[in-house]
Chains A and B, each alone.
Chain A
Amino acid sequence: MAETAEASEAAGRAEPRGRVVEGLRAYRLIAAMWIRSTMAYRTSFVLTTFGNFAMTALDFVAILLMFSRVDALGGWSLGEVALLYGLSGISFGLADLAIGSMDRLGRRVRDGTLDTLLVRPAPMLAQVAADRFALRRLGRVTQGLLVLGYALVVVDVDWTVAKLLLMPVMLLGGAGIFAAVFVAAGAFQFVAQDASEVANAFTYGGMTMLQYPPTVFALDLVRGVTFVVPLAFVNWLPACFVLDRPYPLDLPGWVAFAPPLVAVACGALAGLAWRAGLRSYRSTGS
């Protein structure tokens, strides 16, 4: 609690500060508090970090098991699927690390503890995002990095400057897109508190889908994740560029470089949804 008190005090000071800076500071303080709190149970922390790593590795084990029986899936080799997997895992892992606790918002609305956050002089989004900040989620990022490393060793990519530049751009853009989905899912919980599980269909479901080649899925499904919830920009389209593969849905070549723009657009929409959600919030009153 010391840190939150400190945060309130800092935010309460008269000096003018940008709301973003203030939010980031609050975020950092709350996250630091949760890290300290987690470290009180060290055995459990080690187990959960390993668990997080193993849990995410499990998906890749499934892919390895599949490839122990086949040579290609939807026309893609193991190395190419591993590339998709690593990119999807890292992007999702970064977003999950940063704001993965958004699904607790519904619970806070239900039990009334959201009111506590409202009276604190720090931006709501920063508080909710940092709630239960969990370092163990680095397990997923680490695992994604390992698989990506493996893929880059195995796959014979014809590297160009554009492709090299695209790699970090798509990872950050992808994390941004997933983060926007998390925020939108949080906003949705202002309306339907018990429906936090719907978000899993888009976050975890989306991540799982992106681990497999687009050629595997029905066209309507691919259209849905390109034009409705634009997850295809996280890794499918940039990876097609890197691997010199045909794009799904015959999309033009430049879309591979669109992830940052898509992330910004999604972020803006998610931000609007968040504001609308927060405005519509009525306390339980108890």
Chain B
Amino acid sequence: MGVGSGRLYAAVAAGGFRRYATYRVATAAGVFTNTVFGLILVYTYLALWDERPQLGGYDQAQAVTFVWLGQALLAALAIGGGGFEDELMERIRTGDIAVDLYRPADLQLWWLAADAGRAVFQLLGRGVVPFAFGSLFFPVALPREVSTWAAFLVAVGLGALVSFALRYLVALSAFWLMDGTGMLHMAWIAGLFCSGMLLPLNVFPGALGEVVRALPWSSLLQAPADVLLGEAAPLGTFVFQAAWAVALLAVGRLVQSAATRRVVVQGG
């Protein structure tokens, strides 16, 4: 990738950031909703940890932190979906995708850049306020070392990469299904259940816990949270996340080339 194409994707990413930054009222509405959900969840978690202190190895403050972290990362990491896949699916359905394939830019990288811009905006625009609210009004467990915060941000970045790779695969399914709503729902369920958004994965009992912690979705919320809460070694976590990111992006490439051949057949 030359300097020129690097600049192209940087511009696309900046565009993604600006595009979401335009809708200020929507962002404020999102912040409000995330805060309300955080409030509701935090009380259920407090009740749960009242019954069983040290559940899943977390103390109550760590559990509270986990709730607000989840609300902060929900939009940025598109844990329940959202972001680019609706749009890409629509372009596939209408056939506009043919125009995209003509462009002198790589399809996967283009959407990755746009999604990265969106993620950065939503982390700042939608993540910071609910998290600050939670930290102010509830007892939270936050690290003092800058290095832990830095490691947390790296884990969030890798989580965003895994999230993109998963959603790219979901979007490409539209080449075969045409209407991708069903796939979006499935992805939504997997994202919420397997990321820790529904309940921290360390609270899941027995073998189910082992399985969900090994799946790619655990990179989205559980992994960054455990790094921030000091429950997981940063390096091991990075390797786990990066491995899933590389594998899923590679599968995305394969599916893309298979799908592209299909477009040519349709257009011919």
Contact = CB atoms under 8 A, between A and B. Distances in A.
Nearest to B180: A44
Contact of B193 (A61, A215, A216, A218): A61
A68 B205 contact: yes
Interface stretch (A46-54, A94-102, A233-241): A46-54
Interface stretch (A153-161, A192-200, A268-276): A192-200
A200 B75 CA distance: 14
A283 to B, nearest CB: 19
B192 A41 contact: no
- The SS class assigned to the A binding surface is helix
Contacts of B199: 62, 65-66
A245 to B, nearest CB: 16
B254 interface: no
A195 B28 CA distance: 8
Contacts of B44: 66, 73, 212, 216
Most-contacted residue by chain A among B28, B48, B203 (CB, 10 A): B48
A58 B30 CA distance: 22
Interface residues of A, number: 43
A194 B179 CA distance: 26
B193 to A, nearest CB: 6
Contact of B48 (A43, A54, A73): A73
A51 B189 contact: yes
A205 B36 contact: yes
A278 interface: no
Interface in A194-244: 194-198, 200-201, 205, 208-209, 212, 215-218, 221
A201 B182 contact: no
Contacts of A58: 189, 192-193, 198
Contacts of A138: none
A63 B36 CA distance: 19
A118 interface: no
A72 interface: yes
A48 B182 contact: yes
A17 interface: no
Contact of B36 (A43, A194, A201): A201
A51 B186 contact: yes
B213 to A, nearest CB: 14
B187 to A, nearest CB: 9
B183 to A, nearest CB: 7
B37 interface: yes
Interface string A171-199: 00000000000000000000011111110
Contacts of B193: 58, 61
B258 interface: no
* Among A44, A52, A68: residue with most chain B CB under 10 A: A44
Contacts of B181: 44, 47-48
B55 interface: yes
Contacts of B25: 192-195
B185 A205 contact: no
Given A55-B188, A195-B28, A66 B48 contact: yes
B185 A52 contact: yes
B204 interface: yes
Interface string B150-180: 0000000000000000000000000001111
B264 interface: no
Contacts of A66: 44, 48, 199, 203
B133 interface: no
Contacts of A279: none
Contact of B182 (A43, A65, A72, A209): A43
A70 interface: yes
A51 B182 contact: yes
A69 B205 contact: yes
A52 B47 CA distance: 28
B23 interface: yes
Contact of A195 (B29, B43, B183, B189): B29
Nearest to B75: A197
Of the listed residues A47, A192, A212, the one surrounded by the most CB atoms of chain B closer than 10 A to its CB is A47
Interface in B38-53: 39-41, 43-44, 46-48, 51-52
Contacts of B52: 69-70
21 contacts: A41-B178, A43-B182, A44-B179, A46-B182, A47-B182, A47-B183, A48-B185, A54-B185, A62-B198, A69-B205, A70-B51, A72-B51, A73-B48, A74-B47, A198-B32, A201-B32, A205-B36, A205-B40, A208-B37, A216-B47, A221-B39
The 5 closest A-B CB pairs, nearest first, are A47-B182, A51-B185, A201-B36, A194-B26, A195-B29
Given A47-B181, A197-B26, A198-B32, 17 more contacts: A50-B182, A51-B186, A52-B185, A58-B192, A58-B198, A68-B205, A69-B48, A69-B203, A73-B47, A195-B25, A197-B30, A198-B29, A205-B37, A208-B40, A208-B41, A216-B47, A221-B39
